[in-house]
């Protein structure tokens, strides 16, 4: 029996909750630098109003980053809440969902919905299982 997803979940409506949820999925052992790979106390959250929440600073390579670096959501101006809702809708549909339908359901223009719908097949195609059975993503 399948479990129903609560569409009133805050990850679909609140940006801070969606960001925290994505960080927990992306970094289960805590944040790490996507540029040099260091983690622990060498990666610190940036405070202040100018950067906003979710930004981190690596003390080794001195670069700033978010959890979205290296993901499908990098350099996207579309809110993470819309991305999560689009992901749920596309994965829950029995057949493939068109960009027109996605745009109608999310209240987005066609070009934006097309942009959101097309990274998923490319992103899924690059995931390959290792000999150990773990999945890795080819670049």
Is residue 1 pLDDT above 50, yes or no?
A: no
Average pLDDT over residues 126-133: 52
Predicted pLDDT at 66? 92
Q: Tens digits of per-residue pLDDT, 22-62?
A: 999 999 999 999 999 898 889 999 887 788 888 999 999 99
Structure tokens at 66: 């978010």
Q: Which residue has better confidence, 79 or 51? A: 79
Coil, strand or helix: which one is 108? Answer: coil
Q: With contact defined as beta carbons under 8 Å apart, do 78 and 112 qualify?
A: yes
Question: What DSSP string describes 2-58?
Answer: PPPP-TTSGGGT-HHHHHHHHHHHH-TT--B-TTT--BGGGEEEPPSTTT-TT-EEE
Cβ neighbour number for residue 10 with a 10 Å cutoff? 14
Place 10 in a pLDDT band, splitting at 50, 70 and 90: confident
Range with the lowest mean pLDDT among 1-5, 41-45, 79-83? 1-5
Is residue 73 pLDDT above 60, yes or no?
A: yes
């Amino acid at each position: 029996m399948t479990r129903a997803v609560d569409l009133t979940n805050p990850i679909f409506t609140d940006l801070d909750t969606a960001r925290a949820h994505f960080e927990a999925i992306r970094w289960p052992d805590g944040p790490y630098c996507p540029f040099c790979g260091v983690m622990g106390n060498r990666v610190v959250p940036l405070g202040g109003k100018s950067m906003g929440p979710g930004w981190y600073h690596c003390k080794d390579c001195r670069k700033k980053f978010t959890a979205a670096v290296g993901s499908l959501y990098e350099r996207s101006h579309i809110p993470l809440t819309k991305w999560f809702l689009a992901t749920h809708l596309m994965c829950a549909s029995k057949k493939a969902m068109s960009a027109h339908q996605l745009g109608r359901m999310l209240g987005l223009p066609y070009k934006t919905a097309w942009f959101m719908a097309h990274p998923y097949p490319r992103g899924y195609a690059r995931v390959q299982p290792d000999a150990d059975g773990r999945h890795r993503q080819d670049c």
